[in-house]
Structure formats: structure tokens, C-alpha cells
Amino acid sequence: MSLFNFLKSNLSILDVVGEYVSLKPAGSYHKGTCPFHSEKDASFTVSPDRGIFYCFGCHCSGDLISFVAKIENMTQLEAAKHLIDHFNITIPQTLEKEFSTTVANQKSEKDRHSYICEAITNWLHQQLLVNKEALNYLTDRQISSKSIETFMVGYFPGGLKSVTNFITAMQSKNVMLKDLLEIGFLSQSGNIYYSPFEERIIFTIRDTLGRFVGFGGRIFKKNDERAKYYNSKESAHFQKGQLLFGFDLAKQKMKQQENAFLVEGYTDCVMMWQHGFENTVATLGTACNHDHLKLLSRFIKTLYVLYDGDKAGQKAILRLVDLCWNANLELKIIHLPEQHDPASFLQGKNDLQPLISNAKDIFEFFLETSTDAFQNKTISEKMEISEKIISVIAKIDNKFKKELLLSQAAATMQISLQTLKEFLRNEGHKRVESKQEENKENDNIPGHFNDIDQLEKKILFAILSKIDLNEPFSIEKELVSQFEMQIRYFLEKIDKVTDLQAGNRFTAFLEKLNTEERDWISYNMMINSDPQISFETFSQLIMQFQKQRWKVAVSNVKNQILAAQKMQDPLKLQELLKKFAYLKEEMKNKGIL
Ligand SMILES: [Zn+2]
């Protein structure tokens, strides 16, 4: 047994997928909202019997290892390794050797990148602990030594000497100069090396699994006129649009409480953590985007947005309005006093709790902000605002919330509720139409599978639904050759896995297919296969198929006989009549006639 198969037979796909998607039973499979595309419907299905998942919306499919690989953005091997650690699985000795050698051989680029970043982090952290000026800065901001330790906050002293020390220290950890240049931590000018991170307080950024991936450096010295923040440059391993600072530390509590706080700065995040709001994450100096919300929605139901109290903060919140309605996440806005950001608010010994209790639904916030001083606006401004409001309300799913916001909007804008509802209805039509268009596109299940004979299809999926039993269904080899090309293709692949142990055949079969084929098979396994199908029913299907084939064969011979008669070819005629008699006899013997 291979390592992957061992994992698949020792873990339930429901447990693995269930960590990311909330699943509900529906017949022989489970349903939930797809984590790989934006949707409100539960198009995502998991079959515990088969150990596979399939999404009717985006057609993604696979087993529990490919699920983890896809959602955590890892290779299959990394995913396997992650599952072993995460579920505390003991691998049998026979597999352990195979596993450790493969891991050693394939130590991925990502692992290497994270190793380099970790070595850098450790060095920077040591530098901070012996630098009074940097430490003082943090103490002045009430950042505790426990926080410094937990977030591994660091400092990069400036100057040639410190860069040389850094390079030497890294070499002793097997991190070479070229590595440091490659990830952009050092830059080169002639023979001189320097770093954009010099004289900055440095926050290390870890990915969702706690692997070190990059850095954010903040200036802190008076008269430092460089940009306030400098972040690692974007690469395959460091994508700001997909990372959230503090996520790995927040994960546990996010899961427990099903909510999180979103802030804009590293210091805000650290201060929140320090004050017991461990479920806090921060964007990396970029606006919060759809991927961020999607990532969070895997863990939480409610997101508290805690941006700066100023105009810029408010603008950033309004941008979220357009993102949140299709992210499956409830957004609540915590309104800070204008002069504060989360860190300064907490440093001032203010109590955040009352503000949390008074957090406003984002749509309510949006409505209030956009209708601010509405009556003083010009007609065209009023029209523009109303249109924007209607288009946002139209997107809300919750009927009650919709009504509530509508009447609120009507009151603020002094428009009759009736008129607003009419507006909304028009907007609604537009949306339904565009949704139908979308669905049309999604219905495109691989085209060349559409014209497959229904009977042959039934036989294929009957065989597949029993493939992992000790006594699977099978058909004679000579019969296989009579199937249509596409079905024959799959039957031949099935034939190649029949030697395997029961329980491993289906997955092995899937592995032999390309993505499109796997999609088609998974899709039909979910909707067209009947795991309860009896052997009798299967035999009847085969009988039906044989009858069809024989009919075709017999009518072929008949036609040839007619032709031979016309051509007056007695030899040929004799041969064909013999063949005809043989066919009839065979059919009688097989009970088809
Ligand atoms: Zn999907």
C-alpha cells in the first residue's frame, strides 16, 4: 500500500473537508458551500463512500489529499505530511521509510523559502532583544515582552557592519548570500550589500499554517523619512493578496468563536492579541480583497471590521460593501473615535467591549454613511446615491434584512417605500437574468461525453459503484470491445486496477484520468450512480446490452446476405449463412433469444 492510500483509508474525507466546509448529509453524500468558488448555493458535494468531493458549480474534484493540497496551496506530498501531523497519524514502519526519503528528496521550494525566512526571523529577533532604542520604542507603545516573543518581532540594525554580521550568521545556518538576494531581503550595489529593512522594526509574516513567508518593516526613528512600511517583495511564496498577518495565531479562537477582528496594521493586530482578542488578523498594507474574505469564511461566520476612525478608514470600509455580499460572511463595523486606530484606542486603556456590542451591520453602516446630509445634495447626486443603495440592497439574500434596510433607506431619503420597492424589483430582474447566463455557462459538462449511450453509461457506473468491494462486478473481456469508444476507454482503465486490494481501486482508477475525465466521472458518481444496485439488476443491464449488440450483428449479416444474393456470389453466400446460423445458435445458448 502506498502512503497516499494508507492515509485515504485511515482518514474520513468528511473529517478532513469538514474542517473547512460545514457539511450537511443529503442522501448518499454530503453537501456544503464550495470553498473554491463564490457561491450561496451548496454545490459542493462529498461522498464518504467513495472518498471523493465534487463541485457542481466549478467542477473541481478529487480525494482528501488533493482537497488539502488545493485549499492550502500545497503539493500532494506536503498535504499528506500536513494531514499526518494534523490528525496525529502513526504511519506503519514499512511506509515510514518510503515517506521520509520522498520528503527528503522533494523538500519543496516552499519549505526552503520558509526555512530561510525562519533563520532571518531568529536573527532579527535576537538583534531586537539587545537594542535599547528599538525596545524602548515598543515599550512606549505598551507592546509586552510576551507579544514580542509570540510574534517574534525583530529589528535590523543599520550599517555595513551589521549587514556583514548578518550575512555571516546566515551562512552558518546554511543560508547563502544568493538566497538573501533572491528573496529581496538584501540588495546589491556594486560590491556593497544593504537591506531595505535596515533600521526598521520587523514583523514576520506567517502563512495560515504558521510557516514563515515574509516580512513587514516599520520605521520608528525620528526624522526617518522613508516610507512608513516596507514589505517583502511579491513572489510565489509571498502574496500579500492572500495572506493575513496573525492568521496562524488567530485560527484556534476563530474556530471556537466563529468570528474574527480585521485590522489594518501589524501593531493593531499585536495590541488586539495582547488584550485578549487573539482572533485578530491584519491585511499587509493592502486593501482587504475577496480572497481574504473567502479565506476567513472558512473559519468564521462574522467578521468585525476595526479600521481607523478617520475618513480613510471609512472609505476602506465602504469598499468592503461590494465584496462582502458574495463572501458568505457577515461583516460588522466597529466604529472607533475619529482620532484613534485600534492600537491607540487600547493603549489609552479604553474598553472595546461596548463598541463590539454596538457594532453595526455593514449594510446599515453603508446606508447611514451614504445618505449622510442627503437632503442637501443636488438631484443628480441624490439619484446616484439612490441607485448605488438599491444595487447594494438588491444583492442581500436575507429577506428580513432587505425589508429593514429598504424602509430605513426610504425614511432617510424621503422617498416612498413603494417607489423604492419598484426600483428594487427592476434591479432584481437584471440580477436574475445575469445569473441565468452564468448558470448556462456552468452547465458545460465536458461536451464529448454528452452523446454517450445511456445503457452503456449505466453499466459503467454500476461497475464503478461496486469497484471497491471484495467481489466487484465485472464483464467479460470480449464484451468490453463492443462498447463505445469513450466507455471502453474507462473500462480498460478499470481493468488495470482490478488486481489492487478492495478499497484502493476507485482512487487508483481516478488517478489514471485527466482532469476533465475525472470531473465527468466524479459528477456522475454523485448523481447517477446507485451504490445499492443489486447483482440481478446489473446482470439485466448486461443482458440488455448483449441483446442490442447481437441485434446489430445479426442485422449486419442479414444485409450482407442480401448483397451476396444480388451479386450472385454462392461462396460468399454460403459463408454468411453459416455465420448467421452460428449467431442464432450462440444467442440461444446465451439465453438472449
Ligand atoms: Zn466550486
Q: Please state the rounded mean pLDDT for residues 496-512.
A: 83
Show the cell assigned to 69: 493540497
Q: Same topology for domains 109-238 and 245-370, yes or no?
A: no
Q: What's 109-238's CATH class? A: alpha beta
pLDDT at 105: 57
**pLDDT for residue 70 is more than 80:** yes
Residue 500 vs residues 5, 9, 468, 504, 513: alpha-carbon distances, Å: 11, 14, 9, 7, 17
Instruction: Give residue 37 CA to ligand 1 midpoint distance, Å.
Output: 5
- Tens-digit pLDDT profile for residues 423-471: 877 776 565 555 444 444 333 344 456 667 788 889 999 999 888 888 8
**What pLDDT is stored for residue 204 in this prediction?**
96
Q: Which CATH class is domain 245-370?
A: alpha beta
Q: How far is the CA of 29 from the centre of ligand 1 (A)?
A: 16
34 Cα–ligand 1 center, Å: 5
Average pLDDT value for the chain = 85
Q: How far is the CA of 61 from the centre of ligand 1 (A)?
A: 9
Residue 159 is given by DSSP the state S
Give tens-digit pLDDT for 195-212: 999 999 999 999 988 889
Alpha-carbon distance values, 127 to 7, 150, 153, 156, 440 (Å): 43, 16, 10, 7, 59
Average pLDDT over residues 499-512: 82
Going from the Cα of 528 to the center of ligand 1, the distance in angstroms, rounded, reads 19
Measured between alpha carbons, how far is 179 from 174 in angstroms, rounded to an integer?
10
Among the CATH numbers 3.90.580.10, 3.40.50.2300, 1.10.10.10, 3.90.650.10, which is that of 3-107? 3.90.580.10
Nearest in space to 167 (alpha carbons), one of 181, 155, 153? 181
What does the chain come to in residues?
A: 593
Residue-level pLDDT at 443: 39
Residue 45 Cα to ligand 1 midpoint, Å, equals 9
pLDDT of residue 466: 86
Give the residue from 221, 273, 215, 223 showing the smallest Cα distance to 243: 215
CA of 302 to the centre of ligand 1 (A): 22
Output the nine-digit C-alpha cell for 248: 496562524
| Higher-pLDDT residue of 443, 514 | 514
d(CA 547, CA 541): 10
- Measured in Å, residue 43 CA sits from the centre of ligand 1 at 7
Secondary structure of 251-297 in HEC code, one letter for each residue: HHHHHHHCEEEEECCHHHHHHHHHCCCCCEEECCCCCCCHHHHHHHH
* Cα–ligand 1 centroid distance for 366 (angstroms): 30
Specify which of 65-69, 317-321, 421-425, 439-443 reaches the highest per-range mean pLDDT. 65-69
Q: CA-to-CA distance for 203 and 214, rounded, in angstroms? A: 9
Q: How far is the CA of 285 from the centre of ligand 1 (A)?
A: 29
Residue range 312-341: mean pLDDT, rounded: 84
Q: What is the pLDDT of residue 516?
A: 76
**Highest mean pLDDT: which range of 170-174, 294-298, 442-446:** 170-174
Ligand 1 centre distance from Cα of residue 324 (Å): 18
Closest CA to 50 of 526, 375, 426: 526
pLDDT band at 101 (very low <50, low <70, confident <90, very high): low
E strand or H helix that includes residue 520: helix 515-527
Cα 364 to middle of ligand 1, angstroms: 30
Annotated domain spans of the chain: 3-107, 109-238, 245-370, 374-442, 447-533, 539-589
Rounded distance from Cα 60 to ligand 1 centre (Å): 6
Say what the pLDDT of residue 131 is.
Answer: 96
Question: Cell match 446489430: residue?
Answer: 552
Three-class secondary structure assignment of 318-370: HHHHHHHCCCCCEEEECCCCCCCCHHHHHHCCCCCHHHHHCCEEHHHHHHHHH
Q: Indicate whether 107 pLDDT > 70.
A: no
Kindly report the CA angle at 220 between 149 and 186, in degrees rounded to 5? 75
For residue 189, the surrounding DSSP H or E stretch is: strand 187-189
